[in-house]
Amino acid sequence: QQKVQQSPESLTVSEGAMASLNCTFSDGTSNNFRWYRQHSAKGLEVLVSIFSDGEKEEGRFTAHLNRANLHVSLHIREPQPSDSAVYLCAVSMMNYNQGKLIFGQGTKLSIKP
Amino acid sequence: EAAVTQSPRNKVAVTGGKVTLSCNQTNNHNNMYWYRQDTGHGLRLIHYSYGAGSTEKGDIPDGYKASRPSQENFSLILELATPSQTSVYFCASGEGRAEVFFGKGTRLTVV
């Protein structure tokens, strides 16, 4: 069974500094990876989806995937207080059913003004 | 814009009672999913569906049934609700390599 672990559990970063979140997974045949943001008591907002090794940028959000190291990260450039939320890493192994996701436990990010 | 709508948004149920959570999507996606979210576990897949009439077990199906009567609608059914099923439930829809869209969640409390 695929295991997805996120670190750190919580992170506080000053406004404008780079925020970096990590996610490790156990199955190297996984083929798609997503980062979601969840504001308190709200739904999930997809930030970046990445399907091959390397980097994928969506605005201020950049994902880095290294399948050999079983690692995917999310970097948030110039974070703002409105970016304070829980960030969830999700991994899928199925090309035809990519909603079958295994989630990490989340990283709670706080941005200090 | 892609939309997944869940109802109710909040529900209090009694132990042993029947609970039905409903989900509607206007994305014309074949695949729909039910997840639950608990502190320390992230989101976990309960049931999913490939289309009308189909339901499949996810990773934690025990105590839950699902029903997909049409392309648009997917329900999660708790025949005999227990306090351990107190959680936040999310419905989602997706298709192939396209994005997966989530509803806003249903907070269920079983007392």
pLDDT at A41 (0 to 100): 67
pLDDT at A95 (0 to 100): 59
Q: What percent of chain B has pLDDT over 70?
A: 98
Which of A32, A42, A106 is facing B42, going by the closest CB pair?
A: A106
Which of A4, A88, A99 is facing B94, going by the closest CB pair?
A: A99
Per residue in A53-104, pLDDT (tens digit) is 999 999 999 999 999 999 999 999 999 999 999 999 999 876 556 678 899 9
Question: A with B: how many residue pairs have Cβ under 8 Å apart?
Answer: 61
Chain B nearest-CA distance from A49, in A, is 8
Chain A nearest-CA distance from B74, in A, is 14
Residues with Cβ within 8 Å of residue A1, at least 6 apart in sequence: B59
Of A109, A42, A44, A30, the closest CA to residue A74 belongs to: A109
Per residue in B67-106, pLDDT (tens digit) is 999 999 999 999 999 999 999 999 999 887 778 899 999 9
